[in-house]
Structure 1
C-alpha cells in the first residue's frame, strides 16, 4: 500500500513543482525533500534554475540536500557549466549546503570571477566551505583579485568569505592594500579590519578604510 501511494504521490509532486502558484511549488519542494526519491533530483535542479521566488528556491535546495550525494553531485556539477546565471548560482549555493569536498575542483577561477554578481557571491561562499585544508592561501589570492568589485552587498559578501579563511588571507590583503586602485585598497583595508575586529561592522570598516586611502595611507604604516 505504501509503495502504491508513493508511486501516486511522485507524479503529483513533479507536477506541483511546475505549478503557476508559488505556494503549490513550495509544498511540492517540501514533499520532495520529506520523501526523497531519485526521480525528483533532475526536476528539483531544473526548477532551481528558473524559480523566481526566494523561499521556493530555498526549499528546492533543502530538498536536494535530502537526497544522496551520489545522485545530486554529478547533476549539480553539470549545472556549473550552464549558460544561465541562476542555474550556476543555485547549483553553487546547493553545493555549499551539501558541503561535499568532491565538488572543490569544479569551483574554478572562472566561477570565482563570474561576471554575474549573484554567481560570484555564491561561488565565494561555496569555495570557503569546500576548500581543502592547506589551500586557503591560494584561494585567498584568487578571491583578492575581486576586491573593489561591485556595490556594498557584493563587497560585504567577499569580505565575509575572506574573513572565513582566517589568517591565511593576510598576504593577499596586504598586497591588495597597496594596489593602485583606491576601491581595491579600501576594500582590502576594510576586510583586514573585519578580520581582526569582527564586531566593527562593514559600514564602519569601509568608511574608515576610505579615509585612510584618501589620506594616502595603506594601513601598513608603523
Structure 2
C-alpha cells in the first residue's frame, strides 16, 4: 500500500491533510511529519483532529506533536476541559499531563472530582506529573475516600509529591475521622523513607489510636521507615508490649 502523504486539496500543509486520511498509517506518517515541524499555528487544527482520532497509536503521536508546542497545546487542551464528552476531557487531561505546565494547575484541579471516574483519575495523575505543591492541601482534603479507585488514586497522587506532601499528610493523622487518619498513614507508607522520616512522631502517636485500622496503617507506615532510628525504636517497643496483636506481629517482623 502506498503511504506517501497525499497532496493537499485545500491549501493546508500536506501533513495536516494526511490526518484526515482513512488509512491510519497515513495519519501516523502525517503526525510524525507535523511533530518535526513543531508549528504552533497548526495546533488548533491538530487538536481538533486529536479529539476525533479513533486509533490509539495515532492519538498518542498527535499528543506528542502538540507537546512540541507546549503553550499552544495547553491552551487547546484547557479549552476542552468542560466539553460534555468525557472522552475528550480525558484526552485533554492526558495532553496536559504530558505538557506538565504549572500554569494549568488551576484548571486541571477543577476536575479531580469529575463525575466520570476515569477523567477524575486522569486529573489527579496530571497534577502528580505537574508536581505543583500548591495542590497538596486540596488533595489532602479528599483523604478518607471510601470508593477504592478514588482512594488509590489520591494515595498515588500524593505519594508522587514525596517530601513536600509529608507535613500536610501527617497533620491529617489527627483528623476526627478514622477513615482519614488511616488513609493519611497509607499515603505516608507509600512515600516511605527517607522523605517520610519527619512523620515518625505522628505515626508513633497513631499506634495508640482508638481505631484498629488506623493502628494497623500506622504500623505499616513505620515499617517503611526502619532505616530511621526513632521509627525502629518505636517498632521495637511495640513488638514487646503493644496491646494489639496485629501491631505486635508486624512490629516483630519489621525489626
TM-score (norm 2): 0.61
Distance in 1 between the 2:118 and 2:97 partners? Answer: 14
Q: Describe the shift of the 1:143–1:126 C-alpha distance in structure 2 as closer, same or farther (beyond 3 A).
A: farther
Alignment RMSD:
3.4
Where do 5+ consecutive residues of structure 1 fail to align? 199-214
Q: CA deviation at 1:78?
A: 0.7
What is residue 31 of structure 2 aligned with on the other side?
29
What is residue 20 of structure 1 aligned with on the other side?
22
Q: Describe the shift of the 1:143–1:26 C-alpha distance in structure 2 as closer, same or farther (beyond 3 A).
A: farther
Q: 1:166 aligns with which of 159, 162, 174?
A: 162
SS in 1 for 2:79: helix
Q: 1:196 aligns with which of 192, 198, 206?
A: 192
Q: Note if contact 2:159-2:187 (Cα within 8 Å) is conserved in structure 1.
A: yes
What are the Cα deviations for residues 134-189 of structure 1, in whole angstroms up to 9, with x where unaligned? x25313324536x34354xx65544321211224252476349712xxxx887665
Distance in 2 between the 1:192 and 1:116 partners? Answer: 27
Which has more radius of gyration? 2
What is residue 11 of structure 1 aligned with on the other side?
13
Q: Note if contact 2:90-2:118 (Cα within 8 Å) is conserved in structure 1.
A: yes
Alignment of 1:54-65 (within 5 A): 54-65=56-67
Q: Note if contact 1:92-1:123 (Cα within 8 Å) is conserved in structure 2.
A: yes
What is residue 253 of structure 2 aligned with on the other side?
none
Q: Note if contact 1:144-1:176 (Cα within 8 Å) is conserved in structure 2.
A: no
Q: Note if contact 1:79-1:91 (Cα within 8 Å) is conserved in structure 2.
A: yes
Aligned length: 192
Q: Describe the shift of the 1:21–1:177 C-alpha distance in structure 2 as closer, same or farther (beyond 3 A).
A: farther
Where do 5+ consecutive residues of structure 2 fail to align? 1-6, 195-210, 220-237, 239-255
Q: Describe the shift of the 1:97–1:195 C-alpha distance in structure 2 as closer, same or farther (beyond 3 A).
A: same
Q: CA deviation at 1:41?
A: 0.8
TM-score (norm 1): 0.69
What is residue 120 of structure 2 aligned with on the other side?
120
